[in-house]
Amino acid sequence: SNFVVGVTGGIGSGKTTVTDAFAAKGIPVIDADVIAREMVAAGSDSLSDIARHFGPDILTAQGELDRAQLRQRIFADETEKEWLNQLLHPRIRHAIETRLNDADATYCILSAPLLLENKLTYLTDRVLVVDVPESLQIERTMARDNNSEAQVEAIIAAQMPRQQRLAQADDVLSNDGTVADVYDQVEVLHQQYLQAAASKRQ
């Protein structure tokens, strides 16, 4: 099987910036969030299952998933949240596995904000954590999303604590410098991953 590097990190830590740097080197990036979104695209089997369960009001006039409403429904009800996860998680895992297997490269990246929480590490050979001090994480996320400091802090508080994430890292990319620093660190990691992938093949 392919050599897979899992990339994860908290909100606004720089996962996209980091995976863009790997992609620029020709490394395929499989994004768990993109797959999860495609899974419930208009007209998909999963979206009809969701509409049958929650009722047609869960769809917009355009036949798309009303995400805000779904969030409310599962926020208010743990059983509904569990139902949704049991429907989607196996399908998302299966789609990720297919993409990883089909990737034609020395190694590939699995980018997943919830890589550790959703225990997707069985798919990975190494875990790369993108790490930032909380102050920078708040500053960058506020600038990007136009959120208040309190909103960003609430999201951070709901995510895995920084130290717990770092404890599960094989590699850490410290995103406390410039974007050029990110590209320098990615170059070093890229060389390591090429070597590790080559020895796995032997």
How is residue 76 written in tokens? 């208010």
Task: By CB under 6 A, tell whether 175 contacts ligand ATP.
Answer: yes
Query: Taking CB under 6 A as the rule, does residue 144 contact ligand ATP?
Result: yes
185 interacts with ligand ATP by CB under 6 A: no
CA 71 – CA 180 distance, rounded (Å):
37
Beta-carbon-side half-sphere exposure of residue 39 (alpha carbons within 13 Å): 21
Angle at CA of residue 127, ends 8 and 91, nearest 5°: 65
CB 9 to ligand ATP: min, Å? 5
Nearer to ligand ATP, 40 or 129 (CB): 129
For ligand ATP, the closer CB: 7 or 59:
7
Kindly tell me which residue out of 179, 191, 192, 198 binds ligand ATP, with binding defined by CB under 6 A.
Answer: 179
Of the ranges 71-79, 120-128, 160-168, 178-186, which one interacts with ligand ATP (CB under 6 A)? 178-186
Closer residue to ligand ATP in complex, CB, 88/142: 142
Task: State the Cα–Cα distance between residues 96 and 38, nearest whole angstrom.
Answer: 12
Nearest to 120 by CA among 16, 19, 7, 1: 7
Give burial (CB, 10 Å; 0-12/13-18/19+) of 196.
middle
Q: Say whether residue 113 binds ligand ATP (CB under 6 A).
A: yes
Residues that bind ligand ATP (CB under 6 A): 9, 11-17, 113, 140, 144, 175, 177-179, 182
